[in-house]
Chain A
């Protein structure tokens, strides 16, 4: 009896001990995140100024800025979103609403699951061989946007499928009962109801793409760009220009990488400031995604 009591007491102690260890483990993660943010802020906040956003990179740390980097990031994200969203949503709709259960569907599904595990730098190698040299797109914004689009495609597909799956079958049956075709049902009923989930997934996917560095270095993005791509809007006919698609570019994380790898301390402050801007972008996108998810979840009640 005594030994049993002792054993129980010991196990309960382990249990309580674990509660403390668990909390500490949690703290390790959270403190790392905090330390990262505080370190960036302490080192970089001094460099954040109007000049920093409106200057090109420079040999002098105090005159260098991120103009070409944030313009590049914006344009690359534009191409990425314009490619990944239609392709990913269409693939998600097909797999969820149309696909019959056969070996081809199974192959596509296994393939998407596996693509999520491919290291991002491998996408860069593929883009280097295929887009840059086979398709002759060069080391351009177009190549970069397409590369990141392929990288985030699995995330968009999975998000689309999950939110379509959440739409109850009764909605579809009601549409069919009124004589709607399959596509009409999808377009007018299923997709509007799943917009919130898809949007959340797309924003999270883009927030991942915005921080991707390795695949873009691999396709040959430059680290020193002291000009902007051609403007997309023109004053004379036809008013829009797609010249910028073929322009060389740099992006925020590459600019930061360039500054981190320099030995001079002053450039590290620039790197921290660029990191701060990058973190602000990422956190803002993640926050927006959480907000949209919350809003749509509240609005729709089945």
Chain B
């Protein structure tokens, strides 16, 4: 056999083998990268598991010391006092009242703005106004808290002289304005989703722009994200609504919300594992349930009134 021929065949074999191994290597890296990317995506589920797990775990130890009946029915929340009461109701009403005020501001305002921007305003105005409006939700909440306490409250006190320095009204109004962009952008999306032929049909029947818009936009204004922001808002209420638990439905009074309580406890130096430490997790769990309830209510409202094209 010829020497050179032999070498040539060996080279070819070696080259082929090299190609094969390079392909195998390439496939391996591809697999590894895909696995890595998958794990990253899965980590988001890990966050949820972490949140639910920690809330349930710490609340569980809390409820070993405090009965659920007391938690739900007692009318006082005085965890940090010498004679502690563990009734979540005052915090829940505080949260509900500020959220209700916020939604009373945000839903009409957001809906009207969305209708105006999508149906009435011309393109140039819209292009300038929309980013400006979205800045409202970019402002740090602590700045809004400052604004509520030191600007809105004094302003309201000129109309309502008896209004106390800390009150749920001004906190609620400011939160409402803060979440307007969420409500209006969702409503606008709903307007855009309406097929042109339905809109034209409505006009052809003699309906005005307003009549057309009202049927479409109003249901979509019950935005889930807006609800969660209102219920879970912390800094505005912690600064402007006071931090004293107060069982009342009167928005002109000061009251602590669930979130304000968590902040108040966290600011102090609480020993890990104490009952006050665990109480903020029980409060957090209650907050999650309230958010969930608001979201489901919003979803049902949207579903009840939404058209399917």
**Taking beta carbons and an 8 Å cutoff, which residues of A are in contact with B?**
8, 11-12, 14-15, 18-19, 21-23, 25-26, 28-30, 32-33, 35-36, 39-40, 43, 86-88, 90-91, 93-95, 98-99, 107-108, 111-112, 114-126, 128-130, 133, 150, 153-154, 157, 181-183, 204, 207-208, 210-214, 217-220, 223, 253-254, 256-257, 260-261, 268, 271-272, 275, 278-279, 282-283, 286, 290
Contact = CB atoms under 8 A, between A and B. Distances in A.
A256 B132 contact: no
17 contacts: A8-B206, A11-B210, A14-B208, A21-B112, A22-B117, A33-B136, A36-B151, A90-B36, A117-B295, A118-B51, A119-B259, A129-B58, A181-B26, A211-B139, A213-B141, A254-B142, A260-B145
B143 interface: yes
B43 A87 contact: yes
Give the 3 A-B residue pairs with the shortest CB-CB distance, closest first.
Answer: A119-B232, A211-B140, A22-B116
B177 A130 contact: no
A97 to B, nearest CB: 8
Given A25-B116, A26-B129, A214 B41 contact: no
B98 interface: no
A229 B33 CA distance: 36
Interface residues of B, number: 81
Contacts of A121: 232, 234, 259, 262-263, 284, 287
B45 A213 contact: no
A217 B266 contact: yes
B159 interface: no
Interface in B89-136: 108-109, 112-113, 115-117, 120-121, 129, 131-133, 135-136
Contacts of B151: 35-36, 39
B271 to A, nearest CB: 11
Contact of B281 (A112, A129, A183): A129
B149 interface: yes
A128 B283 CA distance: 14
A25 B47 contact: no
Interface of B: 26, 29-30, 33-34, 36-38, 40-45, 47-48, 50-51, 54-55, 57-58, 108-109, 112-113, 115-117, 120-121, 129, 131-133, 135-136, 138-147, 149-151, 177, 180, 206, 208-211, 224-225, 228-229, 231-235, 238-239, 259, 262-263, 266-267, 272, 280-281, 284, 287-288, 291, 295
A287 to B, nearest CB: 10
Given A22-B116, A125-B55, A260 B44 contact: no
A214 to B, nearest CB: 4
A153 B30 CA distance: 25
B208 A278 contact: no
Q: Which one of B177, B209, B295 has the highest number of Cβ atoms from chain A below 10 Å of its Cβ?
A: B177
